[in-house]
């Protein structure tokens, strides 16, 4: 065969080339098609071209005489099937193969494997989403700080006025005390939202030091013990004794732990188990797991769990700021926090800290799931 013959050139083109006749049967393929789809040439010849497409066949429209329409297809994404039924994304295009008299003798198709390009595009989308989320959180933080400072002082004045009215109400007006009490509860609740906004906006300064995570967990559990008893929950501890100290801001991480413990207890109003475990995930990564045996989190809520004002406790006083603050604190520590529903029911929150104050992002990339 002549090295520069058309047939030899076609066979050595990097992209896949398929020639089909007017009835839609494959008449020629080059080596790239065979390599891409996992067939040998004889397995494809005289077969319907539809066998290589995952779903819609681009050549299903036909003339009344059964021949294919003359079609020029601009490049478009189309999924192809390999011999082993694997789906491969390709950039597909085609044009009519004309005879000497200008009649349509067949169609030439070109397939380009775009698997790597799709992976790059997906990574770019994820990076863009992360940048968008970061910018959004920064904007919300600025707005929260401004709104909170504007509202905090008037709330304090209202609360003082309600206390004054409460002390001055005469006993012979029975309708007033309940109304004033409701007003006070509403102002206190509004004030707690404002404090949450200030915490969310102000979580920016760390005072890190090596800390014993097990001791901090024990102290935090003591602080929520009243709620644990009230909800008839049982605390189960699995704390590794030789845990390496983590470099953290004690007060801020205690705020994180208390928030997670309270969320876990609130998820079990009729009782259940609060499980707290610690262990070394690697030589320099401390892992803390907080689990409950309550209901799972709905997928739409789980996907946005760190978004401000996302909560499953809207009707019972939840503001949806707690986990946003937790995420901000973890980000300041260059730590990782991850929520997932347990297969046996309930929710698991996993936190990773560096024992040497190094970023644990690489650890998260190496192990996509938190075991």
pLDDT tens, 141-157?
666 666 666 677 777 77
Q: What is the mean pLDDT of the chain?
A: 79
Say how far apart CA 276 and CA 222 lie, in whole Å. Answer: 13
CATH 3.30.565.10 segments of the chain: 206-371
| Averaged pLDDT, 3-22 | 78
pLDDT in tens, 32-58: 999 999 999 999 999 988 888 877 666
Sorting pLDDT into bands at 50, 70 and 90, what band is 331? Answer: confident
Q: What's the pLDDT at 371?
A: 43
CATH of 206-371, one of 3.30.565.10, 1.20.120.1690, 3.40.50.10860, 3.50.30.30: 3.30.565.10
Query: Could you tell me which residues are beta bridge partners of residue 341?
Result: 347
DSSP string, 44-83: HTTSBGGGGBSS--TT--B-TTSPBP---EEEEEEEEE-T
CATH 3.30.450.20 segments of the chain: 6-113
More confident: 344 or 364: 344
Say how far apart CA 279 and CA 291 lie, in whole Å. Answer: 15
Residues in the chain: 371
The token pair at 12 is 């050595």
Q: What's the pLDDT at 141?
A: 61
DSSP string, 147-207: HHHHHHHHHHHHHHHHHHHHHH--TT-TTHHHHHHHHHHHHHHHHHHHHHHHHHHHTT---
Residues 6+ apart with CB under 8 A from 179: none
Which numeric CATH code is attached to 115-202?
1.10.287.130
Q: What's the pLDDT at 334?
A: 87
Helix, strand, or coil (residue 28): strand
pLDDT in tens, 184-202: 777 777 776 666 556 555 5
Closest CA to 285 of 215, 344, 352: 352
CATH of 6-113, one of 3.40.50.1100, 1.10.472.50, 3.30.450.20, 3.40.50.300: 3.30.450.20
């Amino acid at each position: 065969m002549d090295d520069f013959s058309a047939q030899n050139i076609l066979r050595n083109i990097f992209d896949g080339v398929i020639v089909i006749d007017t009835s839609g049967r494959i008449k020629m393929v080059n080596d790239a098609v065979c390599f891409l789809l996992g067939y040998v040439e004889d397995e494809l010849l005289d077969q319907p071209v539809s066998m290589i497409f995952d779903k819609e066949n681009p050549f299903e429209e036909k003339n009344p005489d059964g021949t294919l329409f003359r079609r020029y297809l601009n490049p478009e994404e189309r999924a192809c099937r390999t011999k082993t039924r694997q789906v491969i994304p390709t950039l597909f295009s085609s044009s009519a193969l004309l005879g000497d008299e200008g009649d349509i003798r067949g169609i030439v198709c070109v397939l380009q494997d775009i698997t790597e390009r799709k992976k790059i595009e997906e990574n770019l989308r994820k990076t863009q989403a992360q940048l968008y989320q970061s910018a959004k959180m920064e904007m919300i933080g600025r707005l929260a700080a401004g709104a909170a400072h504007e509202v905090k002082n008037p709330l304090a004045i209202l609360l003082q006025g309600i206390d004054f009215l409460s002390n001055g109400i005469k006993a012979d007006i029975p309708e007033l005390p309940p109304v004033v009490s409701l007003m006070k509860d509403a102002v206190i609740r509004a004030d707690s939202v404002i404090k949450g906004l200030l915490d969310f906006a102000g979580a920016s300064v760390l005072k890190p030091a090596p800390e014993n995570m097990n001791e901090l967990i024990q102290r935090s559990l003591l602080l929520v013990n009243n709620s644990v008893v009230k909800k008839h929950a049982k605390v189960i501890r699995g704390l590794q004794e030789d845990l390496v100290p983590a470099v953290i801001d004690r007060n801020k991480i205690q705020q994180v732990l208390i928030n997670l413990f309270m969320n876990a207890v609130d998820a079990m109003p009729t009782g259940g188990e609060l499980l707290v475990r610690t262990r070394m995930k690697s030589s320099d990564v401390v892992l803390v797991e907080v689990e409950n045996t309550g209901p799972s989190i709905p997928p739409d809520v789980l996907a946005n769990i760190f978004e401000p004002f996302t909560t499953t406790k809207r009707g019972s006083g939840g503001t949806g700021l707690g986990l946003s603050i937790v995420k901000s604190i973890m980000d300041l520590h260059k730590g990782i926090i991850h929520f997932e529903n347990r297969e046996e029911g309930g929710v698991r929150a996993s936190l990773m800290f560096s024992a040497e104050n190094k970023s644990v992002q690489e650890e998260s990339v190496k192990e996509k799931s938190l075991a």
